[in-house]
Amino acid sequence: MKIRTRFAPSPTGFMHVGNLRTALYEFLTAKHEDGTFVLRIEDTDQERYVEGATQVIYDTLKLAGLTHDEGPDIGGDFGPYVQSERLGLYKPYAEQLVNEGKAYRCFCSKERLEALREQSESGYDRHCRDLSAEEIQKNLDAGTPYVIRQKMPLTGVSTYTDLVYGEISIPNEDMDDQVLLKADGFPTYNFANVIDDHLMGITHVVRGSEYLSSTPKYNALYEAFGWEIPTYMHLPLIMGKSVDEEGNEVISKLSKRHGSTGFMDLVNDGFLPEAIINYIALLGWAPSDNQEIFTMEELIKNFDPKGISKSPSVFDYDKLEWVNAEHIKNMSFDEFISHAKPFFDQLGIGEANYAMLEEILKPRITRFTQLPEKLEFLTKFEDFDLSLFEHKKSKSTLDSSKAILTDIVPKLQQCDWTREAISELLTGYATEHEMKNALVMWPVRIAAAGVAVTPGGCAEVLILLGKDESLRRINIGLERLMRS
C-alpha cells in the first residue's frame, strides 16, 4: 500500500515552527517511501480565519522545499482540498451513524450544557442518548435545535499503537459522547478530520503529542464506519529556553517570548530556509549516525520514524545559528554570491572583488544579514580612538605605528594594487626590518579601516577600499599619530 500523508493547517496566521515540523515529518514519511504528500486547508473555523493566511501556507511550503503532490492550488483525484468546499459531505455520514444507532441527536440547550460544566468536571451527562422515538420526533416537530453526538463506549479501555509512543490506552469512561455535527450543520474538527482523511486515503497521520489522549475518539469513528484506522505518529513538544528574574534557566513550551517562532520570521532574521528545515528535522529526531547537516535529499533518504524521541526537544537558537553557518560554508561560489549580492550592491562592491569576499567571508559569517556590519568600515569612516593602534599580541604601540606608517605610505603609493603585491610589500618590509608580520600589518589595517575587527586581513581591507581611499585614510591616521 502506497503511503499517503497530509498536512492540514488552518489559515489562522503565520507558520509556527511546530506546525512546520509536523509538515516536514509528514513530507519525509511519505517521500522516504515514494509516497504522496497532500495539502488540505481546514478553514471551517471562520472566527479564527485570517485573510491572506492561505497564501502564507503556500509560500512557506514552497520556500521550505516541502512540495505537495495534491492540494487546492494543484488539484488531485481526492478534491476539493479546502474544507469549506466539502461541507456537503459531512452531514450524510453523521446521519448514517444516527440511523445505525451509533450516534444520536442531542437537543440540550447551551444553558443546560453550561450549567453542567459549572456543576461537574465529568462532562456531558448523556441526557439525550436514550430518548424515545416519540421524544425525538416531538423535538424535531418543534424545531428544537440539535447537535449529533456519537455514542461512545461506556466501559472498558480503548487501546491503539503509536509509532513513537508505543501502546496507548484510555479508559472509555473518560471519553464524552463527542459532537459530530454542530447545530448550524457544520462538522466539528474531529469529525471532518476523520471523514476527510478516509475519503482522501490517508494512511499515516502525523501530529503533536497533545492529541495522544484524544486519538481513541478518532478511532471510535473509524470503527463505527468500519473503516481502516490509519497509522499514527505523535510528535514530542518543542520547548524554549528562557531565564527567570533570579537568573535560573527555565524550560517551557516554545513561544514568542523565546524569540522568533515563525518560519518567515526566522527567514527575515537571516536564516536560510534549508538550514531552518535541517535544524527543525533534528528537533525530536535523531539519524542513525551522528550526521547533523543535511540537504533535503539526504533527509528524505535517512528519515526513519524509529529515530523520533518521546521526550520534548528544546529549540536552541545558538544551534540553529551553527547549522546555518555550516550551510553557508557548504555553498558553491555562485550560491554564496547570489545570497550576498544584494548586500554587496548596497555597499557598492563590484564583481572584481567577489572571489576574495567569498573566500574571506564564507567561514566568518553565520547569517548573510551580518554582511552590512562586517563590511561597515567600507562606507563608514570616523575618527577612531588612537588606542586601537596599541595591540598587545602584535606588540604594536603608538610609536611603532607612527614609524611604520611613515615608511610604508610612500611604498604603498608605488605598489601595484593587487592582493599579492600588497601582501608581498608588507611581509617584505617586516622581513627587512626583522619584525613580525603582525607588527607591520596591524597599524596599516587600523589606519585604513578604523576598526579593530575586519573580515580578512590587511591586504584584503586595502583591496576592498581601493588605492585612493586606502591611502587617504592611512594618511589621515598618520597625521593624527604625528599630532598625538
Confidence of residue 150 (pLDDT cuts 50, 70, 90): very high
Contact at 8 Å (CB) between 407 and 440? no
Strands 103-106, 179-181: pairing is unpaired
User: What integer is the mean pLDDT of 299-308?
Assistant: 96
User: Would you tell me which CATH number, out of the four given (3.40.50.1820, 3.40.50.620, 3.40.50.2300, 1.10.443.10), belongs to the domain 86-235?
Assistant: 3.40.50.620
User: What integer is the mean pLDDT of 316-339?
Assistant: 97
Helix 437-449 vs helix 458-465: crossing angle, to nearest 10: 30
Closest CA to 188 of 40, 44, 8: 44
pLDDT higher than 90, residue 369? yes
Q: 3-class DSSP state for residue 479?
A: helix
Contact at 8 Å (CB) between 217 and 175? yes
Domain regions of the chain by residue span: 86-235, 238-329, 332-366, 375-483
Domains 238-329 and 375-483 share a fold: no
Contact at 8 Å (CB) between 395 and 382? no
Query: Phi and psi dihedrals of 215, rounded to 5?
Result: -60, -35
Contact at 8 Å (CB) between 38 and 200? yes
Query: Which CATH code fits 375-483?
Result: 1.10.10.350
Contact at 8 Å (CB) between 309 and 21? no
Q: 3-class DSSP state for residue 121?
A: coil
Q: Which cell numbers in the block locate residue 483? A: 599630532
User: What integer is the mean pLDDT of 342-366?
Assistant: 95
pLDDT higher than 70, residue 147? yes
Most confident of 9-13, 254-258, 404-408: 404-408
Query: Cα dihedral sign for 36, 232, 292, 261?
Result: positive
DSSP sequence for 141-198: HTT---EEEE---SSSEEEEEETTTEEEEEEGGGS---EEE-TTSPBPHHHHHHHHHH
Strands 238-243, 249-253: pairing is antiparallel
Choose the weakest-confidence range: 111-115, 198-202, 207-211, 358-362. 111-115
First-to-last alpha carbon distance for the chain, in angstroms, is 82
Q: What is the pLDDT of residue 259?
A: 62
Answer with the residue of higher pLDDT: 47 or 432.
432
Class of domain 238-329: mainly alpha
Between CA 45 and CA 365 the distance in angstroms is: 44
Q: What is the pLDDT of residues 70-79, one digit of tens each?
A: 999 999 999 9
Q: Which residues are catalytic?
A: 256
Q: 3-class DSSP state for residue 269?
A: coil
Query: Phi and psi dihedrals of 156, rounded to 5?
Result: 85, -165
Q: What is the pLDDT of residue 340?
A: 97
At 180, the amino acid letter reads L
Give me the residue label for grid cell 515529518. Answer: 25
Helix 273-281 vs helix 17-32: crossing angle, to nearest 10: 80
User: What integer is the mean pLDDT of 187-195?
Assistant: 94
Q: What is the pLDDT of residue 114?
A: 87
Q: What is the pLDDT of residue 253?
A: 80
Bond preceding residue 342 cis, omega within 30 of 0: no
CA 323 to each of CA 136, 278, 282, 328, 447: distance values in angstroms, whole numbers, following the listed order: 62, 8, 11, 9, 35
pLDDT higher than 90, residue 64? yes
At 310, the amino acid letter reads K
- 173 Cβ neighbours under 8 A, 6+ residues apart: 154, 155
Choose the weakest-confidence range: 6-10, 41-45, 159-163. 41-45
Q: What is the pLDDT of residues 383-411, one digit of tens each?
A: 999 999 999 999 999 999 999 999 999 99
DSSP sequence for 285-336: B--SSS-----HHHHHHH--GGGB-SS-EEE-HHHHHHHHHHHHHT--HHHH
Number of H helices, E strands in the chain: 19, 12
Q: What percent of the chain has pLDDT over 70?
A: 98
User: What integer is the mean pLDDT of 418-426?
Assistant: 97
Greatest extent of the chain over all pairs of C-alpha atoms, in Å: 112
What is the edge-to-edge ordering of all strands in the sheet holding 36-39? Answer: 36-39, 4-7, 204-208, 231-235, 157-162, 166-171
Contact at 8 Å (CB) between 292 and 282? yes
User: What integer is the mean pLDDT of 319-327?
Assistant: 98
User: What integer is the mean pLDDT of 328-335?
Assistant: 98
Confidence of residue 2 (pLDDT cuts 50, 70, 90): very high
pLDDT higher than 70, residue 100? yes
Q: What is the pLDDT of residues 427-450, one digit of tens each?
A: 999 999 999 999 999 999 999 999
User: What integer is the mean pLDDT of 103-132?
Assistant: 89
Between CA 7 and CA 27 the distance in angstroms is: 8
Q: What percent of the chain has pLDDT over 90?
A: 86
Residue 361: burial class (beta carbons within 10 Å; 0-12, 13-18, 19+): buried
Contact at 8 Å (CB) between 38 and 9? no
Q: What is the pLDDT of residue 258?
A: 67
Q: What is the pLDDT of residue 257?
A: 63
Question: What is the residue-averaged pLDDT of the chain?
Answer: 94
Confidence of residue 256 (pLDDT cuts 50, 70, 90): low
Q: What is the pLDDT of residue 246?
A: 75
Q: What is the pLDDT of residues 226-240, one digit of tens each?
A: 999 999 999 999 988
